[in-house]
Amino acid sequence: MSNTRAVDDNELQDQTSSHYINKRSAYKDFLALIKIGIVNSNAITTFTGLWLALHFSGMAFLDNLDIVLFTLIGSSLVIAGSCSLNNYIDRDIDPYMERTKSRPTVTGTVDPKRVLVMGIVLTIIGTIFLLLTTVTAAVIGIIGVVAYVYLYTIWSKRRYTINTVIGSISGAVPPLIGWAAVDPNLHMVAWILFLILFIWQPPHFLALAMKRVEEYRAAGVPMLPVVHGFAVTKRQIVIWVACLLPLPFYLFSLGIPFMILATLLNLGWLIIGLYGFKMKDDIKWAKFMFVYSLNYLTILFVAMVIVTI
């Protein structure tokens, strides 16, 4: 009798453990489908746009927590939905790339139709949340979705080397969403934030494309280093980085310390970029540029918040 009870207890434990593992696996699949890293990084730029809009409008942060929550939830859901749709569309080429071959849409752990539905539902719910702030914020969010899902993923990614630039439109709209949620009449500062993100993305993603050039080649994606080689790509990266140099001077309202910091960050990135013409190991240089770009963006946007506290 005791043996039977022990067996039953073991079976119950196995079932409980299996249920826990399945729930954990489903959660991990969900995070992979919505590309949680992209959602989180865009939340930072959205918040910065919103924070600066409150600052320049003379509005108190704590008095507008409802707008803050609606904006962050709405923008995050819209971005999560867009990323899910991107996963659904790219499921045929993702198996050829190391960083995408383990996505649930590739491994088959999630039905592609469910991913499609999830992407649409998340986008709609996110748009509704943004409508609770301003119509302008919701419209900008929709523009971001169209730019990412259609202009980038469906239209340009598999056809043109300029796909990186086209994709930069969607990646640059989060601070506009944040600002428009507070002030639909977008200030010049909001557009400078848009430009910073728009110009930042080509050198960031071209450096990544250099690191993953053989994967993109296998997937048939015409990234610049695949079509025109490393020399052309390196020149393009340096040109894009150089275009960032004048932008901090349009943010003089954030103060001299911020302008100095932003300029030093730009110069540091440019110097590393120029040094790439002397380095023999192009992949190693691309890794330096990629890592620097991540730190650059984080430091820059966090600094914007700090200097206005």
> Total structural domains in the chain?
1
Helices (H), the chain: 2-33, 36-57, 65-89, 104-107, 112-131, 135-146, 163-172, 174-182, 188-211, 213-219, 224-242, 256-275, 282-306
Going by the DSSP 8-state scheme, the letter that residue 126 receives in this structure is: H
DSSP string, 25-49: HHHHHHHHHTTHHHHHHHHHHHHHH
- Asked if residue 90 belongs to a domain, the reply is yes
- What is the span of the domain harbouring residue 151? 28-306
CATH number of domain containing 180: 1.10.600
pLDDT at 6: 53
pLDDT at 149: 97
- Asked if residue 92 belongs to a domain, the reply is yes
- Asked if residue 279 belongs to a domain, the reply is yes
- Asked if residue 117 belongs to a domain, the reply is yes
- Asked if residue 172 belongs to a domain, the reply is yes
Closest by alpha carbon to 297, among 172, 190, 212? Answer: 172
pLDDT at 13: 55
- Asked if residue 210 belongs to a domain, the reply is yes
Averaged pLDDT in 10-residue chunks for the chain of 309 residues = 55 52 78 93 97 96 96 98 96 88 88 95 98 98 97 96 96 98 96 98 97 93 96 97 97 96 98 94 96 97 97
Cβ proximity of 84 and 47 under 8 Å: no
CA distances, 48 to each of 54, 77, 306 (Å): 10, 18, 10
Q: Which residues contact 103 (CB under 8 A, 6 or more apart)?
A: 32, 33, 87, 91, 94
- Asked if residue 23 belongs to a domain, the reply is no
pLDDT at 3: 57
pLDDT at 217: 93
pLDDT at 99: 81
- Asked if residue 148 belongs to a domain, the reply is yes
pLDDT at 96: 86
Q: Which residues contact 273 (CB under 8 A, 6 or more apart)?
A: 203, 234, 237, 238, 241, 289
